Every structure is written in C-alpha cells, then in structure tokens.
C-alpha cells in the first residue's frame, strides 16, 4: 500500500511540474480566467487540484485539438512566424536583394573585363618591337 502512495505522490509531483512549465511558457493571450501569477500560486499551493484546473480552465486549447467544446470554440488568431527564416515576406525580400546585388556585381565584373580587354588591345605588342 505504501508503494501505491509513493507512486500517486510522484504522479502528483510530475503533474504539478508539467502544469507549472505549461503555465510559465504559455503566451499572454493563452492564459485564461486568472492572471499567470495567480495560476502559479494555485498550482504550487494545491498541486493536484491546481494542476487539473490549469489544464481544464486556465489555458486555451491549441487550434488543432478537439475538446469538449470542439467546433463551438472560436478559432485561434493567426500567429506570425517566430523566426525570420519562417517568414515568407522576409525570405522574398532576401531573394530580391540577393538578385539585385548579384546583378550589380555581374555588371561591375563585365565592366572590369571590358576595361582589361581594352587595355590589352591598346598595349603595344612585344613581338613587334625590335630586339636590342
């Protein structure tokens, strides 16, 4: 019987830790009913009931999960990408800037090549000189 109590105590601790992590890592718009710090105190002082309450009533469900409310719940607002490399507008601007820079670099190289070719044409040929 003591092993069962130890197992239930460990399960309660794991549930409380998961609820704390979920509460502290939730964005401001996802915390419902109470302020975040009140939820943290409820979870710490009443680990079992507070953890269950957090998962049931304290946070918004992810858009893809089907809960009791299911189709009746409002859709979550569209979120902006977290990293710049996930933002299509940012990637498009990089692509355009890269193309513009490449075209400018190519134009300068072509000018330099024409200038060097012209210098080689204008330079007197060594074979035409008399030997001294």
Using one digit for the tens of pLDDT, what is the confidence trace for 30-72?
888 889 999 999 999 999 999 999 999 888 876 655 554 444 4
What domain range is 97 assigned to? 84-122
Using one digit for the tens of pLDDT, what is the confidence trace for 83-106?
777 778 878 887 778 888 889 999
SS3 of residue 31 by DSSP: strand
DSSP state of 59: B
Domain for residue 70, yes or no? no
- The position carrying tokens 């893809």 is 64
Domain for residue 75, yes or no? no
Do 17 and 48 lie in a common domain?
Answer: yes
């Amino acid at each position: 019987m003591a092993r069962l109590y130890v197992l239930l105590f460990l399960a309660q601790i794991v549930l409380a830790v998961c609820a704390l992590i979920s509460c502290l890592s939730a964005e401001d718009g996802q915390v419902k009913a109470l302020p975040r710090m009140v939820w943290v105190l409820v979870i710490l002082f009443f680990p079992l009931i507070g953890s269950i309450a957090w998962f049931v009533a304290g946070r918004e469900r992810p858009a893809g999960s089907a809960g009791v409310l299911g189709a009746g719940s409002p859709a979550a607002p569209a979120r902006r990408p977290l990293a710049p490399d996930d933002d299509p507008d940012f990637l498009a601007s990089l692509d355009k800037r890269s193309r513009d820079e490449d075209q400018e670099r190519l134009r300068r190289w072509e000018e330099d090549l024409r200038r060097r070719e012209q210098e080689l044409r204008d330079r007197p040929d060594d074979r035409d000189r008399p030997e001294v």
